[in-house]
């Protein structure tokens, strides 16, 4: 089995994913990281040089390469669920866990970071609210289990994910 983490930028997919992997003895894989490794440049550079559609193609390719994998905790880029073909692959990989956070919390978590091209805009807070509103139904539909992370620490979110996975058997 694998565990798939989805959710918006700043939802904690990487931090939680690493910890969940540690606790379950699974391997942690992050699609953004795989894409950067393969491309040899950063995601910001990919967006700048080739645009978002090209990046989305790389996401789908990366995911296809992972299908058939076992014992992974997979953290996905925040936009991975935008393509229904990606969601299909994610669901085949294993239970899909949505890490949810409200826009204010996301903004607080990411405001000092600079590596997210979609948020390099004049008003990132408004941008987060807009994108999140658009994506909310897509995230919720793709998810088998949702953790509202707003008031939780990484350790607490990890515990919820691990409990969920263990109870699934």
Residues in touch with ligand S3P (CB under 6 A): 9, 13, 32, 43, 77-79, 116-118
Buried b (16+ CB within 10 A) or exposed e, 96-115: bbbbbbebebbbebbeeeee
> In angstroms, what CA-CA distances link 38 with 3, 27, 41, 59, 143?
23, 19, 8, 11, 28
The residue among 45 and 163 lying less far from ligand S3P, judged by its C-beta, is 45
d(Cα 146, Cα 141) in Å, to the nearest integer?
10
> What's the closest the beta carbon of residue 169 comes to ligand S3P, in angstroms?
29
> What's the closest the beta carbon of residue 167 comes to ligand S3P, in angstroms?
27
> What's the closest the beta carbon of residue 86 comes to ligand S3P, in angstroms?
12
Q: What is the DSSP string of 96-139?
A: EEEEE--HHHHHHHHTT----GGG-SS-HHHHHHHHHHHHHHHH
The residue among 15 and 168 lying less far from ligand S3P, judged by its C-beta, is 15
The residue among 52 and 163 lying less far from ligand S3P, judged by its C-beta, is 52
The residue among 118 and 146 lying less far from ligand S3P, judged by its C-beta, is 118
> What's the closest the beta carbon of residue 9 comes to ligand S3P, in angstroms?
4
């Amino acid at each position: 089995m694998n565990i798939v983490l989805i959710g918006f930028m700043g939802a904690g997919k990487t931090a939680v994913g690493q910890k969940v992997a540690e606790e379950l003895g699974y391997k942690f894989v992050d699609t953004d990281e795989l894409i950067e490794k393969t491309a040899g440049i950063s995601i910001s550079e990919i967006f700048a040089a080739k645009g978002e559609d090209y990046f989305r193609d790389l996401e789908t390719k990366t995911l296809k390469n992972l299908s058939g994998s076992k014992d992974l905790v997979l953290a996905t880029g925040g936009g991975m669920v935008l393509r229904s073909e990606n969601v299909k692959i994610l669901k085949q990989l294993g239970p899909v866990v949505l890490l949810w956070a409200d826009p204010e919390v996301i903004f607080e978590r990411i405001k000092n970071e600079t590596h997210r091209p979609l948020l390099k805009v004049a008003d990132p807070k408004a941008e987060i609210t807009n994108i999140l509103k658009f994506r909310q139904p897509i995230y919720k539909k793709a998810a088998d289990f949702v953790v509202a992370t707003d008031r939780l620490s990484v350790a607490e979110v990890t515990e919820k994910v691990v409990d969920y996975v263990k109870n699934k058997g």
